[in-house]
Structure 1
Amino acid sequence: MLWRLSKRQMEAGMGDGNRDAMRALFADGPGPDDIGPGLIARVDGQPAGWIQIDRRSAFPRLETSRVLKPVDDADVWSIACFLVDKRYRRQGLSAMLLRAACDHAARQGARIVEGYPIDTPNRKYAPVYAWTGFVGAFRDVGFTEVARRSDTRPIMRKVL
């Protein structure tokens, strides 16, 4: 819910409130102008990963971010979050999720998909901080860097 809410809303809903709001997004499913909260990857029928993608306008907090504010006025879709079960990490699932998210967005009419991965020289990186994905997976899927306002957080785009 981090980028879907203002800082004030996020703090007010801390804990159960924000968890309930995310559950509601899943329970409600997509509406006529919404794709819902994202896509789920399954391995042998079991959930193995998740990627959150939606129109950038669904993430109003990005507008006010010093580091992730819009690069231009292009109509972009944003990949806001990844979750890969630790049993399936380092097996290419992030790249598969990225490809699926781009395909899904393209079917919805998207022309540009944007992501905000971590770019760190550290070989080991705590998963709790890697919820936006890693730059390597984005590059592998054809994203290119379009801006960098932080040493470790590029803004990357893929034209569909």
Structure 2
Amino acid sequence: MEGYVTRAIGWAQHGRRGQLRHIRNRRAFEAGAEGEVPADWRITCSFTDKDYRRRGVGARALEGAIGDSFEAFPEVIEGQKTSAGFLWNATLGMLVKTGFVPIRKIGKHRWLVRRTVEGALR
């Protein structure tokens, strides 16, 4: 994709664990975390304008945010397509395509996924 538009068409909110403390399904996340090494960074929210979806904007926003080991929290409803209005955490498929690995479910429809970037500064 080349060129510029005059408004934001995609973004990903990211930061260190201490900066982005609020996550959905926190109890389940913490209950299953025994023995896991937590990621340094989190992506808690991402967005792509409806007119620009399926054109690589979301994947580019994720790639632009990544620079260390990351956690993200996509929602998956088995056998159902999630309404675009509720995709504030990217799709599991998009995250897997950009190198994230599903770790475990932390809610009825929510997953914890991680990606480690080799050679990243801590």
- Normalising TM by the smaller chain, what interval? 0.7 to 0.9
Instruction: Note the 1:119-158 alignment, pairs <5 A.
Output: 119-120=76-77, 121-123=79-81, 125-158=82-115
1:68 aligned to 3, 17, 29, which one? Answer: 29
Distance apart, 1:64 and its partner CA: 7.6
Q: How many residues align?
A: 111
Q: Does the alignment pair 1:54 with 2:18?
A: no
Greater helix content: 1
Partner letter of residue 12 of structure 2?
Answer: I
Gaps spanning 5+ residues in structure 2: where? 118-122
2:4 aligned to 13, 35, 44, which one? Answer: 44
Q: Does the alignment pair 1:84 with 2:41?
A: no
Distance apart, 1:73 and its partner CA: 4.5
Task: Tell me which of the two structures has the higher relative contact order, counting C-alpha pairs closer than 8 angstroms and 6 or more residues apart.
Answer: 2
CA deviations over 1:11-63 (Å, ceiling 9, x no partner)? xxxxxxxxxxxxxxxxxxxxxxxxxxxxxxx9524321111000011122239
Distance (whole Å) between structure 2 residues aligned to residue 89 and residue 129 of structure 1: 14
Structure showing greater Rg:
1
2:120 aligned partner:
none
Q: CA RMSD in A?
A: 2.4
Normalised to the residue count of structure 1, the TM-score between the two structures is 0.60
Normalised to the residue count of structure 2, the TM-score between the two structures is 0.77
Runs of 4+ in 1 over 6 A off after TM superposition: none
User: Aligned to 1:98, what secondary structure does the other structure show?
Assistant: helix
**Contact 1:51/1:81 (8 A) holds in 2:** yes
**Contact 1:68/1:116 (8 A) holds in 2:** no
User: Aligned to 2:38, what secondary structure does the other structure show?
Assistant: coil
